Amino acid sequence: MKKIYFLLLLSAFTFQSALAQNDNLKHPSAVAKEDGFSYRSLLKLLDMDSVYIGSKFENGYHDWISILYSRVGRYKEARREAEACGTQFIDKMRFKHHYKDVKAIPLSEVMDSIIESNRVIMMNEMHFNPHSRAFVISWLEKCYQNGYRYLAAETLRASDTLLNQRRTVLLGETGWYSDEPIFGDLFRTALNMGYTLVPYEGDGFGVDREVNQAKNLVKNILDKDPEAKFLLLGGFGHIADRNGWYSMGRYFKEQSSIDPFTMHCIFFDDAYGETDSLQTVYYDLIDAMPVREPVIIYDTVKHIYTNLSGMDVTCCLPRTHFIEDNIPDWKLYNGKVLFTLDRRFMDENGFPEGCVSAFLKSEGEQCVPIDQYMYGKDEKQFKLALYKGEYLLRFDDGKEYKFATIEVK
């Protein structure tokens, strides 16, 4: 009897200790912030796997791991962690039901009319998959030619007041998510083209945040330039503008009397060939197209199909194909080329395993790198997607840095 009593006491003590530990546990974002949401943040969180799995922060843990994996070019791992959140993906049967009677046409057939007939175009992006960010880059030149002069982004920090004068994107200062190379290059490309970058994040939570985001767009753009035309990149469902959707897009429409063109770019998300949760209908639509390009979804009478998202149109991005395993094809935009780093170079200039970041030599390591990749000790070689020019390579093993220079011709 005494033994049973002792075991019960021990069990209760262990349970209360676990609860106390859970109460004292930092949110994964706070842990990641300690090392600047960097490769080192990823290593630290990966080492805390046993602490977070089963805790109240388990979903947040997978979410932040997925975001950090995407920053170091490990896109398949990012997808796996995002799926573990359990909130990013829809049921396969519901997906098939809503899309069984739709048709797809190439975006190129309607892109000009979308740009010319609107003055505000809003797109959304998925924080762990930079594919949609690369897609927005393809809109910049044509929109600029049609009078668009502003690019608003949810991630931008208002505290970086010198961004548009400096015209470089700083690590840890310009935006929450823009430390990721594709996002940083989206802003770099826009600045070089002549766009003004505009922050609009709002205070508060829930509806308050959505309302304040809309107010900030009006204050930061339209109050200063009433005839302005602009592009906007927001996260997930914030750009929804239909009745019944209490999101920034709807509040912006009410406050500005401008009906934005809202484009849902993340509903058909890459599965990278590893899961079948979203594949069947999505791949049937994409693979049936004669050209590998984004497609717009229409219903059977050629009305734009809104897929219950609260947005004007669904855009499906082409299925990702990987080059040499680690480079997705959508990284090769704006004349980027593949540059190979082999084991011999890494052994002579870097570490057996770690993360390499390629900074434009003209910008330096305080700016967002053009590309970076987390490599393993068994990889004989891997590729970076870079512009032609001179680079500073920074190798990081999680404890110290080593540097080398290269020229991409």
Distance, in Å, from the CA atom of 252 to the CA atom of 29, rounded to the nearest integer, reads 29
Higher-confidence residue of 53 and 286: namely: 53
pLDDT at residue 99 in the model: 55
Q: What is the pLDDT of residue 380?
A: 93
In whole angstroms, give the CA distance from residue 258 to residue 247: 15
- Residue 102's region, left for phi above 0, alpha for psi from -120 to 50, else beta, is beta
- Percent with pLDDT over 90 in the chain: 66
Give the neighbor-by-neighbor strand order of the sheet with 150-153.
103-106, 295-298, 313-316, 261-264, 120-125, 230-235, 150-153, 196-199
Average pLDDT on 374-395 reads 96
Per-residue pLDDT reduced to its tens digit, 89-136 = 444 444 455 555 667 788 899 999 999 999 999 999 888 899 999 999
CB of 171 within 8 A of CB of 368? yes
Query: What are the structural domains of the chain?
Result: 2-85 (no CATH), 96-316 (3.40.50.11550), 335-408 (2.60.40)
Name the average pLDDT for the chain: 86
